Amino acid sequence: MAKTPDNRFFRDMVASMSNGVLSIRRDGGVVLINDAARRILGLPDMPGGWPGGDDVHYSELLKDYQDLVRLFASAFEMSTLPNRAELRLKPSGRVIGYTVSLVRDDRGRVHGASLFFKDLTLVEQAEERERLRDRLAALGEMAATIAHEVKNPLASIEVMAGLLRRQVADRGDLQGMLTDIINEAKMANAIVCEVLEFVRPIRLQVDRTELFRVVEDAIPLAERKVARRDTLVDVIVPKGLPVINGDHYQLCQVVTNLLINALEALGGGGAIRIRAQAVKTDRNELPPAVELRISDDGPGIPNDVKERMFNPFFSTKPQGSGLGLAIVRKIVDAHDGRIDVTTAPGAGTTFTIVLPIAVPGQLGF
């Protein structure tokens, strides 16, 4: 007859699970929470996943996740418990797939409940990227046709205004008007080109890419668009960082766009700090990654703007197309990375980009 596993075995089993497990007694006391659950929810460490000592009530442990508090509060009253359901957690924004089960003793009496869940955020992001690709593919075909029809008249306007300006060289009043027409035509043409760039599907030329070379090439590109003047650009990007599988040109565009925004926000003063380091992901199934942070000590971004800043065609600049950050996010998504922003009015802005490193065996390396 097989020996019955001891309590330590079950503790080790739960602690080793890649899915989150959170169990409570009927009185609300937390019985266990494993490392995966703590990591997904961002909760403090509990050695071995067992609270021990004083009881912790689930409402206190999950005070930042009121959706889960309500779920546990109603678990003992439900006739049918959720099975393979999904929930977007607030305020973290993570998406979890979860199942709730009642814990019964050998007589069938309920004396607890368990929540089993998995972080589906990456799956959700991948599905959203796929939906976005489909929408952009259809939009791209339409935009390419419209852009072709618009670019030709714009080019004609610019050429004819230039010819007319030469013919009336002695008319100062007309010279200014014609110069404005030429400049406006050039600006409209640039917007059309940017729209085309955004709606076209990204075709990455993937190779082993060193992040310090990306930053090194992006800084002068940004300075050609916006003068640095007295702004300090402090760069610490070690050459020994792990390489990533990426498109050097596209990643240069990401860094360039973010630097342009920072330089414009600072207006010729302040400081921009660029930092990079290797980081571990918070999910065991993913390889390590490289994190790039671009920070400025400028005026920061209001909350209402922050919520919309990655939306296509949204801009707070009088002459902006509203596509700069949308293109940045699109490129980062194409690299299976993620981008986050931390900002507050008067406290500066930090963009954090996380990109997976090159895994041995990929691309034949």
- Tens-of-pLDDT digits for all 365 residues of the chain? 445 556 677 777 777 788 889 999 988 988 888 888 888 888 876 554 445 445 788 988 888 888 899 989 888 888 788 888 888 888 777 888 899 999 888 888 888 999 999 888 777 767 776 776 676 667 667 777 777 778 788 888 888 888 888 888 888 778 888 888 888 888 888 777 777 777 676 788 889 999 999 999 999 999 998 988 899 999 999 988 999 989 999 999 999 999 999 999 898 899 999 999 998 765 444 558 899 999 999 888 887 788 778 777 667 766 666 678 888 888 998 888 888 888 877 889 999 999 988 765 444 33
Alpha helices in the chain (DSSP H): 7-16, 35-41, 58-61, 66-75, 121-167, 172-199, 211-225, 248-266, 303-306, 324-334
Element (H, E) at 100: strand 95-104
pLDDT at 290: 93
pLDDT at 106: 83
pLDDT at 275: 95
In the chain, the amino acid numbered 84 is R
pLDDT at 364: 39
Q: Report the 3 state secondary structure along 249-295.
A: HHHHHHHHHHHHHHHHHHCCCCEEEEEEEEECCCCCCCCCEEEEEEE
Token digits of residue 310: 């990655």
Neighbours of 203 (CB within 10 A): 9
Q: Which CATH class is domain 7-119?
A: alpha beta
Residue 289 to residue 241: CA distance in whole angstroms:
10
Q: Where are the domains of the chain?
A: 7-119, 121-201, 205-365
pLDDT at 136: 63
Q: In which order are the strands placed within the sheet that holds 271-279?
A: 232-236, 271-279, 289-296, 349-356, 338-343
Q: Is the pTM of this model over 0.75?
A: no
246 Cβ partners below 8 Å, 6+ apart?
204, 206, 207, 209, 214, 335, 355
Say whether domain 205-365 belongs to CATH 3.30.565.10: yes
- Exposure string of 300-331, with b = 16+ CB inside 10 Å and e = fewer, is bbeeeebeebbebebbeeeeebbbbbbbbbbb
In the chain, the amino acid numbered 233 is V
pLDDT at 362: 46
Angle between helices 172-199 and 121-167 (to 10 degrees): 160
